[in-house]
């Protein structure tokens, strides 16, 4: 995704996702198996709605493909599941069928753009709703297999890059205020579930008793709060005794990214975040934000495994670290016009 969006050096992307189920059919249960009729009807409508996109069927996809789709926030179920899920992916749009819910409609926008992402996802969801009947209750709104998503069925989220707050040791204090705004926060490396680290997914906490536009507006208020905190901290660091520390973190990050021979995704993400900070501060790092943003996704474990796996061999975690380092060196030494 290109980085021309508003505040794209802090909010890397914004996404909106609507969950819907087909009226008259059993929802996806714990076994992930919906009724075949619902699968056929919705899959056909999804393919028609995103003509020109490419299709991935979970039944025929390997673990690496499903993990890569999960890393792009499109598949949310268990990668080991044999549920007959399908994903249809087009530019900045995606649909998933039978992945925990009968259907999910996604829209992605660069930078700070909750309203734009919401409008795109809502239009596609409404268009599908004219072709297939959704399960709806006058009391609760749209019904979902996950009770917490009933009502609007909306999840709207953004990836926030907060390297200055992290350098200043303020990340945890700032993120602790988000629940007061009815927002959740999850570190990009969700396995740690820590409040540390510069990259965090920020999402809505409420789906009931609020219109989609109100939910999107709440996310935008929370993101603007984070943007202000990050920008203020950047100014403080740049004009104070910590200026050299911030400058060093950016150039040191580029040196490591361009020369590492083995590197984990966790370290890669932090280094890319610091390099993005350097670009935002005007440092001559001889790299473009688009390249760094692309690497943030391309270096994830599932993407590395998918790109390098063969029919006879799947890379081990140690091999992925070596392959990731090779991808970083290759990408960051190419002329940036080719990225």
Say yes or no: 56 and 117 in one domain: yes
Q: What is the mean pLDDT of residues 92-102?
A: 83
52 with 171, same domain: the answer is yes
Q: Is residue 5 part of a domain?
A: no
Residue whose C-alpha is closest to residue 275's, from 251, 295, 300: 251
Residues 18 and 145 placed together within one structural domain of the fold: yes
| pLDDT classification of 339: cutoffs 50, 70, 90 | very low
Higher pLDDT, residue 64 or 316: 316
Question: How many domains are there within the chain?
Answer: 2
Q: Look at strands 199-204 and 154-161 and give their pairing.
A: antiparallel
Residue-range definition of the domain harbouring residue 123: 11-235
Start-to-end CA span in the chain (Å) = 12
Does residue 328 fall inside a structural domain? yes
CATH code: domain of residue 44: 3.30.590.10
Report pLDDT for 69.
82
Residue 108 lies in a domain: yes
The pair of structure tokens assigned to 204 is 């809505």
Give yes or no: residues 208 and 268 share one domain: no
With a cut of 90, say whether residue 84 has pLDDT above it. Answer: no
- pLDDT at residue 44 tops 60: no
Last residue of a domain, which of 235, 261, 277?
235
Q: Are residues 153 and 284 in the same domain?
A: no
Phi first, then psi, for residue 35 (nearest 5°) are -70, 140
What mean pLDDT is reported for the chain? 84
Q: Which of 217, 235, 253 is the last residue of a domain?
A: 235
Domain identity same for 185 and 321: no
On whether both 105 and 150 belong to a single domain, the answer is yes
Whether residues 142 and 199 fall in one domain: yes
Q: Look at residue 331 in the predicted model and tell me its pLDDT.
A: 94
Confidence check: pLDDT of 53 > 80: no
Q: Is residue 324 part of a domain?
A: yes
Look at residue 2 and tell me if it is in a domain: no
Asked if the model's pLDDT at residue 96 lies above 90, the reply is no
Residues 209 and 127 in one domain: yes
| One domain, residues 205 and 278 | no
pLDDT, position 214: 95
Provide the pLDDT for residue 31: 46
Tens of pLDDT, residues 249-261? 999 999 999 999 9
Rounded percentage of the chain residues whose pLDDT exceeds 70: 80
Q: pTM, whole model, 2 decimals? A: 0.87
Winning range, highest mean pLDDT, from 66-75, 119-128, 138-147: 119-128
Residue 1 in any domain: the answer is no
Q: Which residues are CB-neighbours of 281 under 8 A, at least 6 positions away? A: 234, 238, 246, 247, 250
Last residue of a domain, one of 182, 203, 235: 235
In a domain, 3, yes or no: no
- Give the model's pLDDT for residue 82: 55
- Is 88 a member of any domain? yes
* pLDDT exceeds 60 at position 52: no
What tens digit of pLDDT does each residue of 168-208 get? 999 999 999 999 999 999 988 655 445 568 999 999 998 88
pLDDT surpasses 90 at 280 = yes
Q: Which of 141, 139, 107 is nearest to 216 (CA)?
A: 107
Q: Residue 337, exposed/middle/buried by CB under 10 A (0-12, 13-18, 19+)?
A: exposed
Handedness of CA 9, 10, 16, 17 (dihedral sign): positive
CA distance 121 to 154: 10
* Statement to judge: residues 177 and 265 lie in one domain: no
308 confidence band (pLDDT: 50, 70, 90):
confident
Shared-domain flag, residues 269 and 215: no
pLDDT given at position 32: 47
> Which range, of 52-61, 125-134, 298-307, averages the lowest pLDDT?
52-61
């Amino acid at each position: 995704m290109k980085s021309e969006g508003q505040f794209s050096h802090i909010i890397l992307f914004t996404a909106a996702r609507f969950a819907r189920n087909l009226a008259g059919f059993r929802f996806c249960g714990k076994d992930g198996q919906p009724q075949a009729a619902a699968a056929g009807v919705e899959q056909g409508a999804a393919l028609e709605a995103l003509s020109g996109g490419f299709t991935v069927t979970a039944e025929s996809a390997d673990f690496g493909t499903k993990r890569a789709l999960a890393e792009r926030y499109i598949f949310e179920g268990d990668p080991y599941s044999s549920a007959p899920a399908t994903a249809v992916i087009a530019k900045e749009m995606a649909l998933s069928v039978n992945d925990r819910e009968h259907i999910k409609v996604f829209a992605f926008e660069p930078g700070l753009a909750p309203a734009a992402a919401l409008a795109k996802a809502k239009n596609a969801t409404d268009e599908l709703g004219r072709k297939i009947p959704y399960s709806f209750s006058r009391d609760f709104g749209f019904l979902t297999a996950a009770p917490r998503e009933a009502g609007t069925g909306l999840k709207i989220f953004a990836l926030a890059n907060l390297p200055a707050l992290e350098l200043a040791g303020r990340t945890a204090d700032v993120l602790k205020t988000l629940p007061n705004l009815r927002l959740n926060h999850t570190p990009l490396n969700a396995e740690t579930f820590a409040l540390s680290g510069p990259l965090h997914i920020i999402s809505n906490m409420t789906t009931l008793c609020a219109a989609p536009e109100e939910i999107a507006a709440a996310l935008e208020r929370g993101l603007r709060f984070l943007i202000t905190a990050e920008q203020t901290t950047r100014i403080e660091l740049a004009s104070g005794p910590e200026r050299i520390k911030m400058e060093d973190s950016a150039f040191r990050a580029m040196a490591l990214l361009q020369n590492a021979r083995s590197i984990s995704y966790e370290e890669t993400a932090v280094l890319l975040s610091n390099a993005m900070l350097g670009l935002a501060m005007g440092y001559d790092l001889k790299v473009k934000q688009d390249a760094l943003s692309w690497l943030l996704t391309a270096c994830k474990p599932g993407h590395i495994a998918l790109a390098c796996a063969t029919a006879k061999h799947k890379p081990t975690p140690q091999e992925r670290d070596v392959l990731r380092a090779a991808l970083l060196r290759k990408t960051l030494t190419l002329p940036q016009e080719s990225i």
